[in-house]
Amino acid sequence: MTDKVKLIQKRMKTAQDRNAKYANVRHRPLSFEQGDRVFLKILPFRGTVRFGKQGKLSLRFIGPYEILEKIGNLVYRLALTPDLSGIHDVFHVSMLRKYQPDLSHIIQVDEAELDDNLRYFEKPIQILDRKENKSNSETKPFHL
């Protein structure tokens, strides 16, 4: 009986090592220091268009924000703006992306209108173009 248990443990260890080998190839360790600037991941709702982009091209990150302190190996406290005062300021490393200094990356927080769960609702701002559908006897406006 003891030999069977040891055989099972050995096979389980072999399977775990094989899985870890494949998982570690894709693993990318991230760490930040106090004073670094990062983007914060937001969770968009599908539906209406707010920023002129829909689906894959909608916003994924806002910021950049400065890291105030490193709480643990994977947890950081950010210096959020007063608009985001209702959101807890501690985030896991998976919610952050390193900021590469570029002025085109900066997105104003007041444009995003986030709720407490870092989600936003997209709303149309204006109709940019019109098209008319023509049938046999009448013409109806059609919005693009």
Note the pTM of the prediction, 2 decimals: 0.52
138 pLDDT exceeds 90? no
Q: In this predicted structure, what is the pLDDT of residue 133?
A: 74
25 pLDDT exceeds 70? yes
3-12, 62-71, 88-97, 103-112: range with lowest mean pLDDT: 103-112
User: Are the C-beta atoms of residues 124 and 132 closer than 8 Å to each other?
Assistant: no
Q: In this predicted structure, what is the pLDDT of residue 105?
A: 60
Quick one: pLDDT band at residue 115, thresholds 50, 70, 90? confident
Q: Which one, of 68, 80, 43, 36, lies nearest residue 58 by Cα?
A: 43
Q: In this predicted structure, what is the pLDDT of residue 50?
A: 45
Q: Can you read off the two tokens belonging to residue 66? A: 């400065």
Ordered alpha helix ranges (H), 30-134: 109-112
What digits encode the pLDDT tens for the residues 33-77?
999 999 888 865 554 444 445 666 667 788 889 999 999 888 999
66 forms beta bridges with 37, 79
CA distance 129 to 18: 56
What digits encode the pLDDT tens for the residues 77-101?
999 888 777 888 999 998 898 888 7
CB-CB neighbours of 67 under 10 Å: 19
Q: Can you read off the two tokens belonging to residue 144? A: 């693009």
Mean pLDDT of the residues in the chain = 79
